[in-house]
């Protein structure tokens, strides 16, 4: 990776006057890991002359270590004060995971969810940089949100097709927004089904009120109307896509939607898994 800056939880390293750097001797060719190593579980058969495949999975997440220092293009001072270091640690070293994007022409559309451990780099007793040890929540990166055109549904069943991009064979949970701004009835039941090939998934059912917007993004469902106790009007079955290997990297999926009354606007987006290094 050739990035000099990153954005973490919506805040830019560059805006804070820092740059990604390297402390040590210059290197040449390097081998990096994507973090997406697969563990194959096998059992011995026929006295070990053959091994049978039982299952596979990922046993680690993406991790990396790099350093930052003050950006010589924005500040003439290379020393990081204790207060400045505290501000860095407060920003980067948090208990929860947040979205990280490297601001590079190749990486700007990819993101990671993670957090950092941070250590000061000292020269002559002065802090001149910080070592950042990134831990993410997945073996993969994700593309930035891929959004599809909104569509309207009513009492008649609507089937909408989606070409899902991704590098991993897995279940992908999309973000689905239901907008009742044009709902003629006081409320309606919206029902959704996932469909892949000849497989129809379990039904997702939620009650939507006029003027309300509901957002479903596994494992959370929320409403812009606080007075709606939505947990009482949802069956907690989330729509999902199936990602399978295709030469073009895309898998065709469908969502079937029906509303009991009136017109509901449906918006679908998702973040595909991509196998790249960090």
pLDDT digits (tens, 9 = 90+) for 106-162: 888 999 999 999 999 999 999 999 999 999 999 999 998 899 999 999 999 999 999
Predicted confidence at residue 276, as pLDDT, reads: 87
Predicted confidence at residue 30, as pLDDT, reads: 47
Tell me if 29 is assigned to some domain.
Answer: yes
228 lies in the same domain as 199: yes
208 lies in the same domain as 259: yes
Residue-level pLDDT, tens digit, the chain, 278 residues: 578 999 999 999 999 999 999 887 555 444 455 556 788 889 999 888 899 988 888 888 999 999 999 998 876 788 999 999 999 999 999 999 999 999 988 888 999 999 999 999 999 999 999 999 999 999 999 998 899 999 999 999 999 999 999 998 899 999 999 999 989 889 999 999 998 876 788 899 999 999 999 999 999 999 999 999 999 999 999 999 999 888 887 899 999 999 988 899 999 999 999 988 87
Place of tokens 């960090």: 278
Predicted confidence at residue 31, as pLDDT, reads: 45
Looking at 139, 161, 195, the residue that finishes a domain is 139
Predicted confidence at residue 72, as pLDDT, reads: 86
Q: The domain spanning residue 225 has which CATH number? A: 2.60.120
195 lies in the same domain as 128: no
Q: How many domains would you assign to the chain?
A: 2
134 lies in the same domain as 17: yes
179 lies in the same domain as 226: yes
Tell me if 159 is assigned to some domain.
Answer: yes
Q: Which domain holds residue 64?
A: 6-139
129 lies in the same domain as 251: no
Predicted confidence at residue 254, as pLDDT, reads: 94
Predicted confidence at residue 29, as pLDDT, reads: 43
Predicted confidence at residue 36, as pLDDT, reads: 65
Looking at 139, 169, 197, the residue that finishes a domain is 139
Tell me if 1 is assigned to some domain.
Answer: no
Tell me if 214 is assigned to some domain.
Answer: yes
Looking at 139, 156, 172, the residue that finishes a domain is 139
Q: The domain spanning residue 134 has which CATH number? A: 2.40.30.200
127 lies in the same domain as 162: no
Enter the pTM of the model.
Answer: 0.80
Pair 90, 33: CB distance under 8 Å: no
119 lies in the same domain as 81: yes
């Amino acid at each position: 990776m050739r990035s000099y800056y990153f954005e973490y939880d919506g805040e830019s390293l560059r805006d804070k006057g820092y740059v990604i750097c390297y402390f040590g001797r210059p290197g040449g060719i390097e081998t990096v890991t994507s973090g997406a190593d697969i563990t194959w579980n096998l059992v011995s058969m026929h006295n070990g002359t053959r091994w049978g495949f039982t299952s596979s999975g990922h046993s680690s997440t993406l991790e990396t270590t790099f350093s930052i220092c003050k950006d010589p293009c924005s500040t003439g001072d290379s020393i990081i004060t204790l207060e400045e270091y505290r501000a860095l640690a407060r920003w980067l070293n948090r208990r929860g995971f947040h979205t990280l994007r490297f601001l590079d022409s190749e990486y700007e559309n990819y993101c990671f969810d993670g957090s950092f451990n941070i250590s000061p780099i000292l020269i002559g007793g002065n802090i001149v940089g910080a070592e950042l040890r990134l831990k993410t929540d997945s073996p993969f990166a994700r593309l930035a949100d891929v959004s599809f055109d909104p569509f309207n549904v009513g009492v008649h069943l609507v089937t909408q097709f989606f070409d899902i991009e991704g590098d991993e064979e897995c279940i992908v949970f999309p973000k689905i927004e239901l907008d009742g701004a044009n709902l003629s009835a006081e409320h309606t039941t919206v029902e959704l089904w996932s469909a892949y090939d000849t497989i129809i998934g379990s039904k997702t059912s939620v009650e939507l009120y006029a003027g309300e917007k509901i957002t479903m993004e596994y494992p959370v469902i929320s409403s812009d109307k606080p007075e709606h106790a939505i947990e009482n009007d949802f069956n907690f079955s989330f729509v999902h896509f199936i990602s399978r290997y295709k030469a073009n990297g895309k898998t065709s999926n469908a969502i079937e939607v029906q509303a009991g009354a009136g017109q509901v606007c449906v918006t679908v987006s998702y973040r595909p898994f991509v196998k790249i290094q960090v």
